Amino acid sequence: MLAALLLIVFAYFMGSLPFGYWIGKILKGIDIREHGSGSTGATNVWRCVGKVPGALVFLGDVGKGTVPVLVAIAVDNAGGFKDLTFVYPQLMPCVVALTALIAHSKSIFLNFSGGKSAATGLGTLFALNPIGGFLTFVTFVTMVFVGRIVSVASITAVALCGVYFWFLHAPATYIGYCVVGFLYVTFRHKANIKRLLNGTEPRIGDQKKNEVNGTLGLGEMKTQ
């Protein structure tokens, strides 16, 4: 039980690391939450700070989802959660994954605010099932290329991850995590969904870029 509690704390700490916020502050001296969509995720950093910083934030956000889950799986395989297996096999890796997922959007470093959790969720999928995670990522990239709307690509990819895990015969707990993750990430995109319904959700390349402290971004207005 102690190992489980320590891993949950570790997952929350890792998931809370606000790479997008730090990159904005370090490179441009801005609070990324006051620009673009107000999210600390890679997409908003990409738009408001730059492509390379956005890519770095994406890698960091994926990594902070992957690392704690890989640790949880290793501990689980070593029998470290034997006192919890009566609940359900492979449960703790999913609890750790969900903790990291939520922590990204409820960061202790940012007054419990953050991003949409899509990249961190992808990182947890890579750890739980690398092939399933890869297929989810390919779905995301394909949807971005076809539709040029990141929010649609994120929601579509996370909606299909459970299907991929099912076809790959992943444990039932992993598939259950995919379903819960889909619901959470979709909820985090509620503002995007509202803009989609109103026809105002921006596509990649459609926004006119404005100067933000010497950089090209989405301007000073925060999208509600």
Q: How would residue 218 be classed by pLDDT, with cut points 50, 70 and 90?
A: very low
Residue 83: CB atoms within 10 Å: 12
CA distances from 35 to 89, 158, 213 (A): 43, 26, 11
Q: How would residue 85 be classed by pLDDT, with cut points 50, 70 and 90?
A: low
Query: CB-hemisphere CA count at 13 Å for 213?
Result: 14
Q: Which two tokens stand for residue 166?
A: 């099912």
DSSP 71: H
Instruction: Specify the pTM.
Output: 0.86
Q: How would residue 87 be classed by pLDDT, with cut points 50, 70 and 90?
A: low
Query: CB-hemisphere CA count at 13 Å for 57?
Result: 32
Q: Which two tokens stand for residue 83?
A: 């006192």
Q: Which two tokens stand for residue 184?
A: 């959470």
Dihedral through CA 82, CA 87, CA 88, CA 94, nearest 10? -90
Per DSSP, the chain holds a count of helices (H) and strands (E) of 10, 2
Q: What is the pLDDT of residues 120-167, one digit of tens each?
A: 999 999 999 999 999 999 999 999 999 889 899 999 999 999 999 999
pLDDT at residue 86 in the model: 56
Helical H segments across 83-215, by residue range: 91-105, 118-128, 130-147, 150-167, 172-188, 190-198
pLDDT at residue 206 in the model: 61
Q: What is the pLDDT of residues 19-43, one digit of tens each?
A: 999 999 999 999 999 998 788 989 8
User: 210-212 and 215-217 as β-strands: parallel, antiparallel, unpaired?
Assistant: antiparallel
Q: What is the pLDDT of residues 187-210, one digit of tens each?
A: 999 988 998 999 888 887 665 444
